[in-house]
Structure 1
């Protein structure tokens, strides 16, 4: 596989031009291009440029409305609600954050619900933005069903990640971003596109049998991380991101891949918490003590550290992108 080394500026320009060419309005294209850059910068290839052709295809077929303008309402002082209008999740979340952040500072805690939405990419990308504002960010997003309940064969919830971002001096001190499945579904999709097998334990086929074939996995069920506990975590996310936000349940949502089914209308839910309103001034000391207890152990790794290490390296060096992928994206670009 031949590749080309791209800088983050190259990646942003390529993604932005492609999304514009597919028909997205400029603010949406800008939000999605920045998110792709962040994923590539952090070494999360499955959520970076690999998703841009899918986004473009979905704009063209109407699975996502690239011209949508989200609508923000405030049903309560500490409650923000956004109708993404079947457009991209990222600009809808950004519009909600414009009111969520001041509401959290004013109320001590505030929440944002997004419905009629779409794939929000790397969930930690969004919660980390709350941490950069000095707030504890907790986020949930649901996805089309791909995980069957323990003992069952029919998927009823999606990979359904949750993310916690804890503020530090100028960035997230701790960043937890994990899905209810053993691995993100986008990892299997990427391997299917590249013709690679998946490791044992990632997924089951349609008959409930373990498989290393990514195509069979996409027709079957993802395995929940930690068995029944992982399914329980995914169910919790479904309650927040779909039921509480008024979005479509994962079992009724159209896939995030392919052109069938129309807009998925999934949802997101975020809490933003001002630590100063609750911790009596000791929040930073407690977090520092906890982090030190983890990092002082040989071989122990704090959640988020691998992502931050990739960030430092890729910002300096750029990243290698398959030429075939660049060509697919350039085909949409203006």
Structure 2
């Protein structure tokens, strides 16, 4: 089914409201959901929206939460999401984040006690569109093992980076520190598809390409110890510095009635303060790299239609009828 950007947003907004979200939370979640689809990240778009809707109904997300925003220093913004969605705290602090980066050359956003962050590139891309170089890290409930352990120790712990490009869409890097995102494994399981070797182990700790067994098991870090090191760095930024739950202490995002209580850590740098003409230099460098066949990540348009499977639309619309 094909939806315009606004119709897709209304679909998500109605469903979130029906599931128990406040007007503000529903609006933030709808914007982020559509943005994920338009950036080509459908696995964390409308498919992931169902996790949020179920989370509102089950109590894993506090639908009426009002984030508490504070400023421990002029360049630091601290947010307690109060068990709500990560996107709302960011939206409420966005203007201050931009203004303080303009004034001080940089700012830090540190949020605790939220549901998982969804598409991490959503946050960095918005800041890059405002002229900032941005780095974001977020943790989640433990779904990944590392090293010799066969216990869940880290979330997929994604890292995102974005930078403004003159006369063009921002460069956006958004990737998990696991070999793939959990939602991709779950999607493969739902469709009866195999997954590549090296993505996951089954519940007995044995390597598997059966997505249905992988869902019951654990994800693996990309690149072995190197990916696990990045997951640990993300964990320290997103949970350690924010005061959020460590991944291995975070309740499930898909079961129970408790919030995962995880964190989101973002650094925004005013590019032209560091290097005048930065976005023009980056545009030139991107052209040079692209001419050599180098993939430039995350430069998808933010306009166009959203295409969704009819079965997914039907599942989402059930919440809108509540």
Q: TM-score range by the shorter chain?
A: over 0.9
- 1:97-176 to structure 2, matched below 5 A, reads 97-169=94-166, 172-176=169-173
Which residue number in structure 1 is paired with residue 175 of structure 2?
Answer: 178
**Higher deviation after alignment, 8-17 or 64-73:** 8-17
User: What CA deviation, in whole Å up to 9, does each residue of 1:12-55 have, x standing for no partner?
Assistant: 11111111111111111111111111111122121111122221
- 1:254-293 to structure 2, matched below 5 A, reads 254-257=251-254, 259-260=255-256, 262-279=258-275, 281-293=276-288
SS in 1 for 2:144: coil
Which residue number in structure 1 is paired with residue 307 of structure 2?
Answer: 320
Quote how far apart the aligned CAs of 1:270 are.
Answer: 0.4
SS in 2 for 1:331: helix
Give distance in 2, aligned partners of 1:173 and 1:24.
Answer: 31
| Counterpart contact for 2:63–2:84, Cα < 8 Å | yes
Give distance in 1, aligned partners of 2:232 and 2:225.
Answer: 10
Give distance in 2, aligned partners of 1:277 and 1:152.
Answer: 45
| Counterpart contact for 1:11–1:49, Cα < 8 Å | no
Which residue number in structure 2 is paired with residue 53 of structure 1?
Answer: 50
List runs of 5+ in structure 1 lacking aligned partners: none
Runs of 4+ residues over 6 Å off in structure 1: none
Which residue number in structure 1 is paired with residue 289 of structure 2?
Answer: 294
Give distance in 1, aligned partners of 2:283 and 2:40.
Answer: 26
Give distance in 2, aligned partners of 1:75 and 1:171.
Answer: 35
List runs of 5+ in structure 2 lacking aligned partners: none
Give distance in 1, aligned partners of 2:111 and 2:98.
Answer: 15
Give distance in 2, aligned partners of 1:49 and 1:15.
Answer: 8
| Counterpart contact for 2:165–2:283, Cα < 8 Å | no
Matched, 1:25 2:22: yes
Relative distance call for 1:44 and 1:30 in structure 2 (3 A) is: same
Which residue number in structure 2 is paired with residue 91 of structure 1?
Answer: 88
